[in-house]
Amino acid sequence: MLIKTRSRLELKESDVTSPEWYGNRRQFLRLGAAMSATAAVGLGLAQQVSAGEKLPNVVKSSFTVDETVNSLEDITHYNNYYEFSTEKTEVAELARNFQTRPWTVEIGGEINKPGRFDIDELIKRYPLEERIYRFRCVEAWSMVVPWVGFPLAKLIKDLDPRGNAKFVEFTTLRDPERMPGQKRDVLPWPYVEGLRMDEALHPLTLLAVGLYGETLPPQNGAPIRLITPWKYGFKSIKSIVRIRLLEQQPMNTWQQVGPREYGFYANVNPEVDHPRWSQARERRIGEFLKRKTLPFNGYAEQVASLYTGMDLRKFY
């Protein structure tokens, strides 16, 4: 399936900060509340949103790239998810019956209003946006994916982070019975990732709960996963059960297993090769010829300023 979208990435800093934008948001919220009230009558109030269901009230975000979107088949059958398999084409089948209800996300650490959220409560808490993002794996393949989610910043700001919170740590579920790959020591479990606070609060940083307008399939990180489109795919941690705000930089799984090859920042950078292969080019899944990899995966205009003054060869 090919979808053509807007003519360019339209994210501007003013989109997030102008009163006009906030005005629009309020309008969306009002509209959303009215619509979900109507929908609730039809569906029954206790209705839960579960895997493979259409997500309600998704608005199209202007934080979207104009590129051919990969097919649902590609996105759901070429996965890195070591909790199920190290074989990309095997994950879909092995994760097929992974149960994502009930599911709780715990949010704590350096935050004044810590909490435990039921996933369905979280999904309804903020207006959901569809955002078409480039996605670049460190293995030099890429896709374009229509995620559905909400900015992580909204959640963090609502929970009143403390001044000493400098980093955010994310943790995947650890349950070897439900995630058979965890019975092997291919990685230390659970999978952990981290962001610096300003990266976590950046408007591009998304908590994704859906794909192609529906709830996430298990192989893509259901029921909730992180998406940081300017970083290599391994930062986009799947099936999150815990988020903690920390004063110190957390250790992330891939840096822990291969510090020479994987760092904390993991910004897409065609000028800094992986020790075992070049990062200059990538294979877009579905294409034959390789294309050039763009600095920050094409999001330099939006994120480069987060790293001014940093040596990106050192902080890879």
Ligand X SMILES: Nc1nc2c(c(=O)[nH]1)N[C@H]1C(S)=C(S)[C@@H](COP(=O)(O)O)O[C@H]1N2
Pick from 238, 250, 240, 241: nearest CA to 194: 250
Query: Which of ligand X, Mo ion, none is residue 236 near (CB under 5 to 8 Å by kind)?
Result: ligand X
In the complex, residue closest to ligand X by CB? 233
Tell me how far, at minimum, the Cβ of 192 lies from ligand X, in Å.
9
> What residues from 236 to 255 belong to the interface with ligand X (CB under 6 A)?
236-239
Query: Which of Mo ion, ligand X, none is residue 119 near (CB under 5 to 8 Å by kind)?
Result: none
> What residues from 198 to 237 belong to the interface with ligand X (CB under 6 A)?
220-221, 233-234, 236-237
Query: Which of Mo ion, ligand X, none is residue 98 near (CB under 5 to 8 Å by kind)?
Result: none
- With respect to Mo ion, which residue has the nearer C-beta, 11 or 226? 226
- With respect to Mo ion, which residue has the nearer C-beta, 205 or 253? 253
- With respect to Mo ion, which residue has the nearer C-beta, 98 or 135? 135
- Tell me if 171 contacts ligand X by CB under 6 A: no
Tell me how far, at minimum, the Cβ of 63 lies from ligand X, in Å.
18
Contact call for residues 226 and 236 (beta carbons, < 8 A)? yes
- With respect to ligand X, which residue has the nearer C-beta, 84 or 150? 84
Pick from 250, 206, 260, 251: nearest CA to 231: 206
Tell me how far, at minimum, the Cβ of 260 lies from Mo ion, in Å.
17
Q: Which residues of 81-104 are buried (b: 16+ CB within 10 A; e: fewer)?
A: bbbbbeebebbbebbeebebeebe
- With respect to ligand X, which residue has the nearer C-beta, 137 or 209? 137
Cis check: omega of the bond before 146, within 30 degrees of 0: no
Cis check: omega of the bond before 295, within 30 degrees of 0: no
- Tell me if 130 contacts ligand X by CB under 6 A: no
Contact call for residues 249 and 263 (beta carbons, < 8 A)? no
Rounded CA-CA distance 225/210 in Å is 9
Binding-site member from 55, 105, 137, 144 for ligand X (CB under 6 A): 137
> Rounded to an integer, what is the distance from CA 295 to the centroid of its chain?
19
- With respect to ligand X, which residue has the nearer C-beta, 131 or 238? 238
> Rounded to an integer, what is the distance from CA 139 to the centroid of its chain?
18
Please give the full DSSP string across 124-192, using - where no structure is assigned: HHS-EEEEEEEEE-TTSEEEEEEEEEEEHHHHHHHT-B-TT--EEEEEE---TTT-GGGGSTTSPSSPE
Site string for ligand X, 60-89 (x = CB under 6 A): -------------------xxxxx------
Tell me how far, at minimum, the Cβ of 88 lies from ligand X, in Å.
8
Binding-site member from 64, 85, 172, 215 for ligand X (CB under 6 A): 172
Binding site for Mo ion (CB under 5 A): 80, 137-138, 233-234
- With respect to ligand X, which residue has the nearer C-beta, 32 or 237? 237
Query: Which of ligand X, Mo ion, none is residue 238 near (CB under 5 to 8 Å by kind)?
Result: ligand X
Pick from 178, 228, 189, 233: nearest CA to 207: 228
The number of CA neighbours under 13 Å toward the Cβ of 126 is 22
Max intra-chain CA distance, the chain? 57
Q: By the criterion CB under 6 A, which residues form the site for ligand X? A: 79-83, 137, 172, 191, 220-221, 233-234, 236-239
